[in-house]
Structure formats: structure tokens, C-alpha cells
Amino acid sequence: MPFKNLNSFDDSNDFNIENIIIGSGAGGSTTAFELFKQKKECIILEDGPNVNDLDFSNIGKNIIKLYKNNGATPLISNNGGPIIGYGQGSCVGGSTYVNAGYFSNTPEWIFNKWFKENKTILKFDHFSNLIDEIKSEIKVNTDQLTSVDNDSKILFEKSKKLNWQIEKCERYSSGIVGEEKQNMNKTYLSYLSENGVNILHDTRVLKINTQNGEAKSLIVENRLNLKKYKFKFKNLFICCGPINTPFLLQKNRLIDNNENNFEFHINFKIILKFKKPINFNKSFKYNPDHPVSIYFMREFEKEGALLSAANSELPYILATASHFSDEIKKDIIKNHEHYGMYIYQIKSNSHGQIKSFLNNPYVSYSFDEKDTLEIKKAIERTSKLFFDDDVDFILYPVENSGHIKSQKEAMNLSQNFQKKKLHLVSVHGMSSMRYAPNKNSLTDFNGKLKDFKNIFITDASIIPGNTGESPQATIMAFSKFITKNLSNSL
Ligand SMILES: Cc1cc2nc3c(=O)[nH]c(=O)nc-3n(C[C@H](O)[C@H](O)[C@H](O)COP(=O)(O)OP(=O)(O)OC[C@H]3O[C@@H](n4cnc5c(N)ncnc54)[C@H](O)[C@@H]3O)c2cc1C
């Protein structure tokens, strides 16, 4: 059954549904799936477009269409740090549609720390059972190396040479080359839709009406014709992602501020030019189903650092090189086969805050100097790993840094870069609305919004802290935990 939009309903429709879920990403889909299993009536309202009828021939145009803010939301430092471009999906399936599909678990030591600090009542054993439940519902596998994954092969060989720990990534996939990624669209949302649950795309929630500590109705806009609709409900689940959930609540004056609880990973992306051709990915098509990296180099995982291959299509490499000279960009176009790109992911120590400013989310963060040290390590470690007879130069994401041709030049850069000149991105945000064992906490351990008896948060906002690993599975596990816990009280 296809996903719908508000055009399928007559104007006079009076929507009155027991449970409304705002957002169809990792958190929203999982909540709806759990509610459906409990035989509870529900609907999902999704701001972004349907993905079924898109023209995938152009990567750039699809990023503009399927991401919030045409691709990147700026995270703006309030203490001299760099602007970080934050990517978040906005379409049916949310960020799970656009993401790389890595399946990772929050490590036990991080989880136990959350438990010790009273940030969750969920124990690691129970959490692991929820992860197993997800694995029984969605295919998770490792992928095979193909002719377009030479970047991954090189990562593997060079890591082995240094005896650095490297292993295959688990991914939401069947493991069969050419098959689609197992995102929310293909799994929970398809199942729900086939079983009569409405998933309405191009449907933006503008206003939450409340009375005496209870949410009563929503004002919703059909983005295709700007008509407004009213939705009544018994319970409201907000799953708009770690930035848009606190934003929607602030815009509606249901919370004052969300402290400095927004945590994120930093992606430090490097571009390498190899002396011989290594990159045979000639595609210009947007294909979020395709595996990105086959391996994760995990030698420094306890410090929150992971290294993987990045997208190898020319438009992605050019977009990452946008701050380099025309000469460098021309060479990338001419010699694309010689170029590869990698992501060194850092569990950032910096924390951010989301505010509603002129009806838009404004994200500020305080740059933690520990992240300067992490970036130094990123430069030093990647130069140690990659510089060899087969590498011509590395382009680091530091403005005006140019070609770095040796480990010595890389060491020099690592000692002398200015933080303001860094070009960093992030695609993993979390914990902006997390439970805290103090009186200022905006939510309780069941994701219930303080002072409102029927508003629950079940997306990335609610997880207790920085996972250091790809967060989707953890978000889904917390969404399941909360929705299952609530089953008797809804
Ligand atoms: C490029 C990229 C790669 C990533 N790779 C991985 C990976 O490999 N593995 C991994 O584990 N994680 C990955 N992530 C992160 C992961 O996808 C997210 O952490 C996760 O999807 C967040 O879940 P969520 O439910 O909080 O929000 P989302 O999945 O972002 O969903 C939120 C949805 O809410 C909708 N929404 C917002 N406001 C409104 C409103 N007012 N009305 C209606 N709808 C609204 C949005 O349009 C969006 O669709 C990646 C993310 C990106 C962007």
C-alpha cells in the first residue's frame, strides 16, 4: 500500500486518532511499529516527501530534496570553534533513508557509565535483548567487497600492515550485492502501511495545542498546497530528530531551553590522491542503498575514534573539496580514478543547545579544547596509516592547507592548524532531550515530557549520551523500551 499525503483526504476531514507520531525516522517508525504490535491505533505525520517517485539521476538535487535545510544545518560555535555542517534526512524514513546503514551497538562500557550516572534505568542486558529483537525484525549483515570498494580494500590492507584492528561493518542489509538497504521505508513503514496504518508525507506539524498539562490537538500543514488541518489525539509521540524535537517544543513554548545536552560526532573527512587509479565508481546517481565502507578501523574505538571509507562518487568528493582551490578541484575531476575519501569519526566532547530563532532551529555549541587534541590525533594517525609509496598527497579539511605530501608535513599541520579554519561535518546528533536525574530534567526515563501527561519523546533526542558508535540501533532500542513500558498506561 503506498504512503499517502493529505491530498488523499477530503478537506472537511476531522482527524481524531488515538496515537500520533510526528516524524517517520528511526525513532518514529519504531514507536509506530511497537504501538501496532500492541494493537493501538496510530498515524505517522512526516514533514518530508515520499521517496518512491524521485528522479535519482543527480546526487546534488536529491540531497537538497531529502535533507533538512537543503543539506546542512549549521552548528555555530559560541567560543571560536568552527561551524559544523550537520546533515539530517527529511523524507519518509527520515535520516534512515539517506544514511549509510551501519548497524552498531553502544559499547557496554559506555552504557554502564550512563547507568551509573543515573541517566537511564535500562540495563545493558535488557538493552542487548532489544538490539537482538531489532535484528530479528530487520536484516543485518556484512557486505562483500566489489570492484567499486577499492578504498575499503586499501583501508584493510594498510591497517593490517600496522597491525591496527579492523573489521567488517555490520549493516542493515541482506548482504547480497545490489539489494536495497534495510531502512525504515523497506521494513517497519512498509509493514505498517500494508496493515492499514497511515503514513502521511509532506505533512508538517506547526502547532501543538495544550490545555491544563495535556496536549489536545495539532495544527498541521499540507506542504503541497499549504492548507491547514486539525488533528486530535490521546497521546503524542514527538520523533522529529535531535534538533527538530526540541525546536518544535520551544517554538510552541512547551519547554524553555534544553540546556547543553546536544551531543554529536565529528566527521573529519580526508581526500587522498593515489599514484595509481583505485576508484572505479563512475556513478552520478543518488543511491543511498549502496554500501559506503565495508570495514571500520577500530584500533582507537575506546577513545571514540573510528575510520571508514566515505562515498567515492565524484560529486561527493567535490563537495568535500569545495574549500580547496580551483586547481585542486579540476584535478579531482580530471583524475577522479586516483582519488579516495575517508571519514575519521570523533566522539566529540563539545555540547550544543537548540533554540527557536525566527521560527527556525538555531544550534549553538561550545567547542571543547579536547576536540582540538582529537583532531591532532586524526591528522597524525591517518598520515601514519596512509603515507606510503602509493599515496601522492592527502587533502585535510583545513582551509588553505593544500597538498600534504608526507607524514612530516602532516605533523606540521597537526601542530599548527587553527580550529576556526576546520571544515567539519556531523550526521550523528543525540541526547538533546535526555533524562537527567535532577529537577531541571525536561523528560523522565520513559521519555515523558515534564509537566505534560501525554507527550512522549522517542527519537535520538532521548538517548542518554554520546554513543561513540553509529546511533540508529540505540535510538530504536530506546524507542522500543519506552513504547513497551508505556503499553499499559496508554
Ligand atoms: C548522511 C547520514 C548518514 C548516517 N549514517 C548512519 C549509519 O550508517 N548508521 C547509523 O546508525 N546512523 C547513521 N546516521 C544517523 C541516523 O540516521 C540518525 O541518528 C537517526 O535516523 C535519527 O533518528 P530520529 O528518529 O531521531 O530522526 P530522523 O531519522 O532524522 O527522523 C526525523 C523525521 O522527523 C521529521 N520531522 C521533523 N520535524 C517535523 C515536523 N514539524 N512535522 C513532521 N515531521 C517532522 C523529519 O522530516 C524527519 O524525517 C546517519 C545520518 C545521516 C544524515
Residues 124 and 222 in one domain: yes
pLDDT band at 172 (very low <50, low <70, confident <90, very high): very high
Residues 215 and 132 in one domain: yes
Residues above pLDDT 70, as percent of the chain:
100
Q: Strand ranges (DSSP E) for 316-402?
A: 339-347, 351-357, 360-366, 391-395
- Residues having CB within 6 Å of any atom of ligand 1: 22-28, 45-48, 87-91, 94-96, 98-102, 204-205, 239-242, 244, 248, 427-428, 459-460, 470-472, 475
Distance 52 CA to ligand 1 centre (A): 18
The count of domains in the chain is: 2
Residues 33 and 116 in one domain: yes
Asked if residue 69 belongs to a domain, the reply is: no
Q: Answer yes or no: is pLDDT of 1 > 70.
A: no
Residues 375 and 482 in one domain: no
Q: Ligand 1, atom 30: nearest CA belongs to which residue?
A: 95
Residues 316 and 462 in one domain: no
Q: In whole angstroms, what is the distance from residue 132 CA to residue 231 CA?
A: 35
Residues 417 and 443 in one domain: no
Distance 387 CA to ligand 1 centre (A): 35
Residue 6's identity, in one-letter code, is L
Mutate to test the pocket of ligand 1, among 102, 203, 206, 428 (most ligand atoms within 8 A of CB): 428
Short-list 436, 438, 480, 442, CA closest to 458: 480
Q: Ligand 1, atom 38: nearest CA belongs to which residue?
A: 240
Residues 172 and 243 in one domain: no
Distance 446 CA to ligand 1 centre (A): 21
Which atom of ligand 1 lies at the shortest distance from residue 220's CA? 42
Residues 186 and 232 in one domain: yes
CATH number at residue 174: 3.30.410
Task: Out of 378, 396, 423, pick the residue that ends a domain.
Answer: 423
Q: In whole angstroms, what is the distance from residue 395 CA to residue 400 CA?
A: 10
Asked if residue 357 belongs to a domain, the reply is: no
Scan for cell 577522479, then name that residue: 336
Are 91 and 201 within 8 A, CB to CB?
A: yes
Identify the helix (H) or strand (E) that includes residue 264. Answer: strand 263-274
Residues 10 and 109 in one domain: yes
pLDDT given at position 463: 96
Strand partners, 15: 231
Tens of pLDDT, residue by residue over 41-82, are 999 999 999 998 888 999 999 999 999 988 899 999 999 999
Asked if residue 360 belongs to a domain, the reply is: no
Q: In whole angstroms, what is the distance from residue 26 CA to residue 31 CA?
A: 9
Mean pLDDT value across the chain: 95
Q: Answer yes or no: is pLDDT of 299 > 70.
A: yes
Q: In whole angstroms, what is the distance from residue 87 CA to residue 89 CA?
A: 7
DSSP 272: E
**Domain coverage including residue 186:** 6-51+91-101+104-139+181-261+431-486
Distance 88 CA to ligand 1 centre (A): 5
Q: In whole angstroms, what is the distance from residue 466 CA to residue 450 CA?
A: 22
Q: Answer yes or no: is pLDDT of 439 > 90.
A: no
- DSSP class per residue in 209-243: EEETTEEEEEEEEETTT--EEEEEEEEEEE-SHHH
DSSP 270: E
The predicted model gives 392-403 an average pLDDT of: 96
pLDDT given at position 263: 97
- DSSP class per residue in 111-162: HHHHHHTTS-S--HHHHHHHHHHHHHHS--B-----TT-HHHHHHHHHHHHT
Scan for cell 575510520, then name that residue: 307
Distance 96 CA to ligand 1 centre (A): 6
Distance 120 CA to ligand 1 centre (A): 22
Are 242 and 432 within 8 A, CB to CB?
A: yes
CATH number at residue 222: 3.50.50.60
Are 206 and 418 within 8 A, CB to CB?
A: no
Which atom of ligand 1 lies at the shortest distance from residue 475's CA? 23
Q: In whole angstroms, what is the distance from residue 266 CA to residue 272 CA?
A: 19
Distance 95 CA to ligand 1 centre (A): 3
Q: Ligand 1, atom 23: nearest CA belongs to which residue?
A: 26
